[in-house]
Structure 1
Amino acid sequence: MAPSAPLPTVGTGLGDDDGVAPLLRRYRAAQTRRQRWEGTWRDCYAFALPSRESAVDGAAPGTVRGDRLFDGTAPDAVDQLAASLLAQLTPPWSRWFDLTAGADLTEDERARMAPTLSHAAERLQAQFAASNFAVEVHQAYLDLVTLGTACLAFEEAPPGEPSAFRFAAVPMGDVALDEGPGGHLDTVFRRIRLPLSQVRARWPDAMLPSDLERRAADEPDLDVAVLECVVPDGRGYAHTVLLAGTGGAAALADAGAPLGTPTVLAAGRFGVSPFLCFRWTKAPGEAYGRSPVMKALPDIKTANAVVELVLKNASIAVTGIWQADDDGVLNPAAVRLVPGSIIPKAVGSSGLTPLRAAADFDVSHLVLEDLRRRIRTALLVDRLGPPDGPAMTATEVVHRAADTARVLGASYGRLQSELLAPLVRRGLAILRRRGEVPPVRLDGRLVDLVHAGPLAQQQRMSDAQTTLTWINAVLGLGEAGARVVDAEGAARWLARTLGVPDAALRPVPPQDPAGGPADGP
């Protein structure tokens, strides 16, 4: 991961950098806080996303998963909610953001900046489309829905790659997070195991210990543990890469293991954090987020237990439970219940008779349907998924969109702040450093970010509908009401609200010093 500033000279021990010891203490504290969540995370993965279970417990790839799962309602709902988030927030087939001039600029300045900002947005969108963003952010959405917290690594790709961006959904078992001074989840410690060849490729200036170099000569596939630390420091984000000492390459794998003397592989600074950590919702005093799966976990576990009981009852109903008199003739061990079999019995004995079930189990279906409905409601399947009924009218579409915005308002606002805005800011920083876009900085005053995803468009459609209703009502008042409406200003506002490209609008005529439009040639 290439930092945005040149790397200083790397060291080979704890004494080379006085900031390493406090950094390790902070990592230990963050790791300890994360361990309190691991039990809940395992339950969420086991019952709602068993394919990602190894992200927490570190199981080997390809191991059997989902052996505790009997009901598939929750995994299906998690997949649908993650897919809906991808389609509503960052659809890969359309532009989900735009760059506009800020509120501090005049109309003339906005008109002059519009082509530059439009070009920068197009370049940024093209880089997102050419990268693996859609694949990795969908994996991050799965973690977000299941665990309430997700982490997406946003790296700069080497020159010559199809895209300047490279993404990776970071498993929550590999990171320990903490909130920074601003309340954002921007203090990140990522523990990864890499072959020594990849360590040399990622940090070519790193000075490795001599005994580790000798081991690598004998073991070409030697893996080592690396700890990446990204901590906000007021001027950006300090980036430090540590390697565990020789003879303890796996020391970072256990929070309680001694670290020994770590080697500083690299140190630098990012203007924008390369790790995007975002949450669904959070409780006061907690750094990690809480998910819809956590809210529905009691119902998910109950539905799973009910289905298990239904399957056991079905097994009994199919195979039956049998009883027999101890008549000295019938040997239960020799009985085979197959067509054409002859079962001997003594004279006067009732022989082999079925044992009637204790109760009727049909009530389980009523309980199960109610549990599944509550699970789907908690995971917003009925709000974000496709409607089950016939085609909706225009009024029903508007009401459904308003209901969706109301339900997702808080979570969507958090995702705008913790995912979408940092994502665009980080992408602009990489392209600006490569010289592909002008020095555009999102500050909200000169350059502003406009969210253009389907969910944001639904809210803007509601705002536009309110304005059009007012205009129609005012125009119905006659000439006096019509004089109140600035038709051109209203048209330009509607264009900005609905995301109409600037190329479709006529440029604003320049103003003369007296305040009126300048005369044409």
Structure 2
Amino acid sequence: MLKVDPVSIKERLDQLATERYQWESIWQDVIDYMLPNRSPVRGTITPGEDRSVLMYDSTAYKSLLRLSANLNDMLTNQSSQWFQLGIDDKTLSNDPSVQSWLMETTEQIRKYLDGSNFYDQIHELYMDLGSFGTAIMYVEDSNDSGKYLNFKTCHIREIYLDENKYGAVDTVFREFIYTARQCYQRWGDKISDVTMDKYENDPTFETTIIHACFPRDERDPKSKDNLNMEFASVWMEKDNMHILDEGGYETFPYLVPRWMKSSGERFGRSPALASLADIKTLNAMMETTLIAGQMAAEPPLQVPDDAFMSLNVAPGGISYYRAGTNDYIRPLETGKRLPLTFDMAQEKRDSIADAFFATQLQVIDKSEMTAQEVRARMSENMRVIGPTVGRLQNELLSVLIFRVLNILNYSVDENGQPVLPIPPESVQGKEYSLKYVSPLAKAKRHNELQAINSAVGTAFQWAQAGKPEVLDNLNIDVAYRRNVDISGAPVDILVDEKKVQANRKARAEQMAQAQQLQQSQGQAEVAETASKAGKNLKDARG
């Protein structure tokens, strides 16, 4: 029995569409001036149609490409470890068996991300994030053998969203197009009679699908069926209000990061929106420059009104006019000149590039810099982009990893075995934590690392200057372990704290035994020397 009324789904979608309406013209401007080959927010596009009629300069598009590539490299680089799974329990997190399980689970998650389409889709997400300010990725389990995960970055035109009382997105209505063939592939006999008829006779027929995902207000938390999960999921054919499937999710399946968000707004704002005025101005400047340049290179001509021969307007061409007359061929003065200088256009280009953090996120030349200088440069860059990185960690990366973890926890291989290692009993029911170890994440904590190293270094300098008692204030073990944690080194390089204490105790006992043995040997040597001296004295008295 269905728990959701299709009419209520349609009404809620219409309400969200009304609230989103004002954003659509802004997004369309971004598409027109930056992404002309992208499907429009409003209307349709003919395949193969050239829509770059408003784009006379590619600075904004190139800046967006660079920003997306830099975010991908510095936040979710496929060739390096960018996250580590942890546990919110200090005692357990120091347990070698728990550490081993966390490391193995982290590696398995990375393995299945690598084997999926995640890294293709995350780059598209970064493109949307930099252009529209809001990006959407749908994360679901995959039916493909051995893959388990599937990712889909959705066009901004498809998405309508709402927030909870904390400002987090917990409601997404998605409206998109499927062919009758795609509908049958996904839902089989559940499709409507109309769509089934189209599938049999016209499989390329397109129909509009709605996916509604929102918190389920009425549910039994103790029940394990999908109609009582935290988030409701309803798939529906829009035109005939036919419910295709109703289910649920334990974790929200949509990732909805915003670049930055103003109070009272649900959708985010982006570098493209921040520089849209400059982008439009630069395009207008380039259009004017091209027109003026063309006028200068190929000016309109003045000819006598009784001219009868066609003009040769090719470079070096010769046209004839009647000799002995003032009616000669000459350029028509239009008053148009090249009004813009290169510096004026370059100023706009620099402004646009700066809005896309071209300077802050540029690849650092490490060949002539020390590691400390590189970290300092990264830290300086983080002052500008740090708030955005923090938002992306909260709205994108954390939601992503926990969603993936939820899917993989229910996944089994072809032999029916869990794809993730079975957790130790000691961590059952414990909360997971995440540590980000990407270059941007480590740069974000650079100041903390610098402060620790400065404090420790100062203490040793004072000790060397004749104040060794200052070292009594330092907990070197804590400082070193914190240093390792911030630098992102694998936790398994550290020995368990209890084992460290045991090793130190054993070393101290060995040193005490060696010292005692040395003292015993010294006492024996003294006794032997005294004995020899007494004997010599006795012999001398003979």
Q: TM-score, normalised by structure 2?
A: 0.81
Q: Which moved more, 1:48-57 or 1:381-390?
A: 381-390
> Which one of 245, 251, 267 corresponds to residue 272 of structure 1?
251
Inter-partner Cα distance in structure 2 for 1:135 and 1:292: 22
Matched, 1:489 2:465: no
* Aligned alpha-carbon RMSD (Å): 3.1
Matches within 5 A, 1:39-58: 39-54=25-40, 57-58=43-44
| Secondary structure of 1:416 counterpart | helix
> Which one of 337, 342, 367 corresponds to residue 313 of structure 2?
337
293 and 25 in structure 1: CA distance in 2 versus 1, 3 angstrom threshold: same
> Which one of 164, 168, 171 corresponds to residue 180 of structure 1?
164
242 and 76 in structure 1: CA distance in 2 versus 1, 3 angstrom threshold: same
Q: Deviations over 1:116-135 (max 9, x none)?
A: 11111111111111111111
Aligned to 1:143: 128
342 and 226 in structure 1: CA distance in 2 versus 1, 3 angstrom threshold: closer
Inter-partner Cα distance in structure 1 for 2:85 and 2:201: 54
- Does the CA-based 8 Å contact 1:54-1:60 persist in structure 2? no
Matched, 1:410 2:387: yes
Letter of the 2:351 counterpart = R
Letter of the 2:201 counterpart = D
- Does the CA-based 8 Å contact 2:190-2:245 persist in structure 1? no
Inter-partner Cα distance in structure 2 for 1:506 and 1:149: 44
Matched, 1:295 2:274: yes
- % identity of equivalent residues: 26
| Secondary structure of 1:166 counterpart | strand
Letter of the 2:237 counterpart = L
Matched, 1:230 2:213: yes
> Which one of 315, 320, 329 corresponds to residue 299 of structure 2?
320
Q: Deviations over 1:122-164 (max 9, x none)?
A: 1111111111111111011111111101101111111514x21
Letter of the 1:87 counterpart = D
Aligned to 2:190: 207
241 and 520 in structure 1: CA distance in 2 versus 1, 3 angstrom threshold: farther
Inter-partner Cα distance in structure 2 for 1:501 and 1:37: 44
442 and 378 in structure 1: CA distance in 2 versus 1, 3 angstrom threshold: farther
- Does the CA-based 8 Å contact 1:306-1:368 persist in structure 2? yes
269 and 510 in structure 1: CA distance in 2 versus 1, 3 angstrom threshold: same
Inter-partner Cα distance in structure 2 for 1:146 and 1:323: 47
- Does the CA-based 8 Å contact 2:295-2:336 persist in structure 1? no
Matched, 1:72 2:58: yes
Inter-partner Cα distance in structure 2 for 1:233 and 1:305: 50
Matched, 1:24 2:13: no
Residue 502 of structure 1, CA deviation: 2.4
Inter-partner Cα distance in structure 1 for 2:74 and 2:349: 24
Inter-partner Cα distance in structure 1 for 2:177 and 2:12: 20
Inter-partner Cα distance in structure 1 for 2:4 and 2:139: 28
- Does the CA-based 8 Å contact 2:398-2:434 persist in structure 1? yes
Residue 393 of structure 1, CA deviation: 5.8
Matched, 1:311 2:295: no
Inter-partner Cα distance in structure 1 for 2:120 and 2:47: 19
Inter-partner Cα distance in structure 2 for 1:158 and 1:57: 34
Inter-partner Cα distance in structure 2 for 1:38 and 1:275: 21
Residue 387 of structure 1, CA deviation: 6.0
Inter-partner Cα distance in structure 2 for 1:47 and 1:430: 39
Residue 198 of structure 1, CA deviation: 3.0
87 and 57 in structure 1: CA distance in 2 versus 1, 3 angstrom threshold: farther
Q: Which moved more, 1:404-413 or 1:499-508?
A: 499-508
Residue 108 of structure 1, CA deviation: 7.1
Q: Which has the higher helix share?
A: 2
Inter-partner Cα distance in structure 1 for 2:25 and 2:134: 15
| Secondary structure of 2:272 counterpart | helix
Matches within 5 A, 1:100-111: 100-102=86-88, 104-106=89-91, 110-111=95-96
Residue 171 of structure 1, CA deviation: 0.8
236 and 21 in structure 1: CA distance in 2 versus 1, 3 angstrom threshold: same
Aligned to 1:3: none
In the alignment of these two chains, the number of paired residues is 483
32 and 495 in structure 1: CA distance in 2 versus 1, 3 angstrom threshold: same
| Secondary structure of 2:341 counterpart | helix
Bigger Rg, which one: 2
Aligned to 1:198: 182
- Does the CA-based 8 Å contact 1:131-1:165 persist in structure 2? yes
Residue 378 of structure 1, CA deviation: 0.9
Q: Which runs of 5+ in 2 are unaligned?
A: 218-228, 412-417, 511-542
Q: Deviations over 1:349-391 (max 9, x none)?
A: 1511234563652643221111111111111112212369995
Inter-partner Cα distance in structure 1 for 2:483 and 2:317: 81
Letter of the 1:200 counterpart = Y
Q: Which runs of 5+ in 1 are unaligned?
A: 1-8, 10-15, 245-250, 252-259
Residue 19 of structure 1, CA deviation: 3.9
- Does the CA-based 8 Å contact 2:177-2:207 persist in structure 1? yes
| Secondary structure of 2:498 counterpart | coil
